Amino acid sequence: MDTIPHWLLPIEEDTRYPRSKERLEIQRITYESLFERSLETIMEGGSIRELVKTDPRDVSYGSFIAWIKSNPEREKRYKEARKVGSDAVLEKMKEIADGDGLEDVQRSKLRIDVRKIEIQAWDRERYGDGESRGSMGGGGGINIIIGSVKPPEPSGNVYEVVSGD
């Protein structure tokens, strides 16, 4: 029987990055300062991932989210910020739908669909998750149609449709 190579063996502790008290304290301070900014970003409909990516302190997105969720008070504030942010995302959806007519309709639809999923996750109570209030495509949620224009109603004039057959 072959032995497992050393590089496949489980590592008990990652010795490359010792987790000293000083390092943990620096991480805590970094996360606390970033937390307040992340709440503001979320409430404006922004992305924490982008905030973390642009932060010069090399913060891990996954570790930061885990840190937020490790404390019930922080997690509560995070969820409240997401509820407020869902309104901002909804406003962005309206801007995309109204558009200036120059954007590709399919691209606009994709952008709106992604934001629908986002606000469903951010505020399930108001925007539903398919179980509690119905899906976003109908049944009590938001339904946005892009690219459809209703023809004007005839006002005394008779419109004749001519077929090109």
Q: Please state, in angstroms and rounded to a whole number, the distance separating the CA atoms of residues 77 and 8.
A: 41
- Whichever domain contains 81, its CATH number is 1.10.10.60
pLDDT at 147: 53
- Name the least confident of 26-30, 99-103, 130-134: 130-134
Question: Cβ contacts of residue 137 below 8 Å, gap of 6+?
Answer: 143
The domain tally of the chain equals: 1
pLDDT above 80 for 101: no
- pTM value is 0.57
Q: Please state, in angstroms and rounded to a whole number, the distance separating the CA atoms of residues 73 and 82.
A: 14
Between 51 and 145, whose confidence is greater? 51
Q: What DSSP assignment string belongs to 122-147?
A: H-HHHH--SSSS--TTSSSS-----S
Query: Containing domain of residue 25, as a range?
Result: 17-127
pLDDT at 138: 45
Residue 34 resides in a domain: yes
Question: Cβ contacts of residue 103 below 8 Å, gap of 6+?
Answer: 96
